[in-house]
Copies of this chain bind each other. A is one copy, B any other.
């Protein structure tokens, strides 16, 4: 099922018309222009309000038949036609900080700039779908989630808040996150754990190191173990999940003439969805043996690829979408933890997200929109 050779099936180049805002009937949305407009509204994490207001207003005017709820800077728009299945589609409003690329810039069929790929192209598709299912009820019921705080610490994640306080708003039979995947289905996701291993020493003047205990030297066996660790590649449902283990931060010492009495090492473990979170934490603690303290900074379970799920299988099969495993953690694991099969599928190159070269191709955007519209039957 995995490792398909074919690339994403592109939709035929749509003839983009102008969005008729203010009317209740949308014939065709110029998704490319809409993405550019959304990118022109800055929405770095913590500052999503202006974009949330803009999207709420767009929903009011072009998707008036949907039930729209606003919770903080999170917006949930839903149909309620009593269909057998409910498809949840979600995208985050926030971007990482700009990297000289705050202003979107269009160059023929390429849109350059912050948020083009991650993930305002996806938000444009969600708005387009909202207008479509408002105008004409679809085969499935649909829930569209626009949420805040995805690019920062989990405590700020809007989807987390929605699941905690309004679970009924975000539940469904399958969830699709429009994270940039270049139109691939990125199935499931690996789990991720960060631990901080701290080594205690004893200060002394650096001229007499034998009077103290060098905390950085104490950390060396752990550093060796991690640097030489041979991470496995694990097959789950025919997908290769490539695990990893690495030190992502280290800090030790307080002054050049003092034997360091503390060294803190942050280790990141990424593990395949065949393993439970508890087992992964236990393995990581064993690797950190010798540290004086091991604190779990965050620990997220993996999400299985769910390729057996009928809706997932249909999406992949009917449109002959290429499938690959998702190695980074995304909010699909949050849906998965709540019993909702989920996958990533969206326009934009994930490798360019968070870089100054972030950009989006018109064909990628429109192809992805067409697949999703067809899948939900609108």
Contact = CB atoms under 8 A, between A and B. Distances in A.
Contact of A263 (B190, B242, B250): B250
B248 A207 contact: no
Contacts of A260: 247-249
Interface stretch (A128-136, A164-172, A223-231): A223-231
Contacts of A255: 248-249
Q: Which of A192, A220, A354 has the most CB of B within 10 A?
A: A220
A351 B256 CA distance: 18
A57 interface: no
A349 to B, nearest CB: 13
A327 interface: yes
Contacts of A351: 211
Contacts of A263: 250
A327 B246 contact: no
A206 interface: yes
Interface string A20-32: 0000000000000
Interface string A208-249: 111100101100100110110000000000000010101111
A324 to B, nearest CB: 12
Contacts of A137: none
Given A217-B226, A224-B224, A247-B214, A206 B252 contact: no
Contacts of A242: 210
A270 B329 contact: no
A253 interface: yes
A328 interface: yes
Contacts of A226: 217
Contacts of A194: 256
A329 B207 contact: yes
Contact of A216 (B207, B208, B247, B254): B247
A179 to B, nearest CB: 12
B259 A248 contact: yes
A18 interface: no
Given A217-B227, A223-B223, A248-B257, 14 more contacts: A192-B207, A205-B354, A206-B244, A206-B246, A206-B268, A208-B244, A208-B327, A210-B244, A216-B246, A217-B223, A247-B260, A248-B259, A250-B250, A256-B266
26 contacts: A190-B207, A192-B207, A205-B328, A206-B270, A210-B244, A211-B351, A214-B227, A214-B246, A216-B227, A216-B249, A217-B223, A217-B227, A217-B246, A220-B223, A220-B224, A220-B227, A223-B223, A247-B252, A248-B255, A248-B259, A249-B256, A249-B260, A250-B251, A250-B252, A251-B252, A253-B266
- A-B interface, 7 closest residue pairs, ranked by CB to CB distance from nearest: A207-B328, A249-B253, A217-B227, A220-B227, A216-B247, A207-B327, A250-B252
